[in-house]
């Protein structure tokens, strides 16, 4: 089976499993995962890129509000012309969102042009080497390869971790994975620059 077909089959399996989670389960696991993110974020990390959860992804929005209250720089991705992700700054606690690409809320503020301390990355499946399976468009991978940042962590439920995610050189290996069980520091054969 070629790699694209493998990804397609894996994507379908893990999406169905995640979509089957109840709202109560998503809320409960999300609380644990946000607690683990908070516990593991180094104090010196002042800028964090979050995401707006869709399709039962881990809900990180409560943590984004907590960090905003602490005066950290809270960022969210905006997809520009269905081509590339640009981080945008959040200016108020109610968030400054408008409906964006793929009907996902996006910030309606201004771009951020500094180094990002931590990028929280959603996905459909992850492995312990840091590879992730997304929706297949490559937006996050392109963003990670072209952005100045310190660390990128996959955010997932334990059920989304698999022994191996098929990958190509266009797939960016993450530094860590955060689940309801804690953090996994990823080991990849790729050297970070």
For residue 168, the SS3 value is coil
Helix 61-69 with 23-40: angle, nearest 10 deg: 40
Q: Do the domain assignments include residue 173?
A: yes
Q: Do the domain assignments include residue 192?
A: no
Q: pLDDT per residue over 119-146, tens digit each?
A: 999 999 999 999 999 998 889 999 999 9
Q: Do the domain assignments include residue 190?
A: no
Q: Do the domain assignments include residue 26?
A: yes
How many structural domains does the chain have? 1
Q: Is 81 left (phi over 0), alpha (psi -120 to 50) or beta?
A: left
CATH number of the structural domain spanning residue 54: 3.40.50.10420
Q: Do the domain assignments include residue 162?
A: yes
> pTM here?
0.93
Q: What is the pLDDT of residue 192?
A: 42
- What's the CA gap between 56 and 18, in Å, rounded? 6
Can you give the residue range of the structural domain that contains 49?
3-185
Q: Do the domain assignments include residue 106?
A: yes
Place of tokens 């945008």: 88
Structure-block tokens of residue 122: 């959603």
- What's the CA gap between 72 and 108, in Å, rounded? 19
Q: Do the domain assignments include residue 193?
A: no
Q: Do the domain assignments include residue 191?
A: no
Instruction: List per-block mean pLDDT (blocks of 10 residues) for the chain, which spans 193 residues.
Output: 88 95 97 97 96 96 95 95 93 84 90 97 96 92 95 97 94 96 79 43
């Amino acid at each position: 089976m070629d790699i694209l077909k493998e990804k397609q089959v894996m994507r379908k399996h893990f999406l169905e499993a995640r979509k089957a989670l109840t709202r109560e389960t998503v809320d409960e696991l999300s609380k644990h995962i946000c607690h683990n993110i908070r516990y593991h974020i180094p104090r010196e990390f002042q800028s964090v890129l979050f995401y707006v959860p869709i399709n039962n992804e881990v809900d990180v929005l409560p943590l984004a509000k907590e960090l905003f209250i602490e005066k950290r720089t809270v960022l969210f991705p905006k997809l520009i012309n269905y081509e590339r992700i640009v981080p945008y700054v959040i200016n108020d606690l109610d968030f400054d969102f408008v409906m964006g690409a793929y009907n996902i809320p996006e910030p309606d503020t201004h771009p951020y042009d500094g180094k990002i301390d931590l990028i929280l990355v959603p996905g459909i499946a992850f492995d312990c080497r840091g590879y992730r399976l997304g929706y297949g468009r490559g937006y996050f991978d392109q963003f990670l390869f072209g952005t100045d940042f310190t660390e990128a962590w996959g955010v997932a439920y334990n059920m989304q971790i698999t022994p191996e995610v098929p990958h190509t050189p266009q797939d960016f290996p993450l530094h860590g994975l955060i689940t309801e069980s804690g953090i996994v520091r990823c080991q990849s054969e790729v050297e970070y620059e």
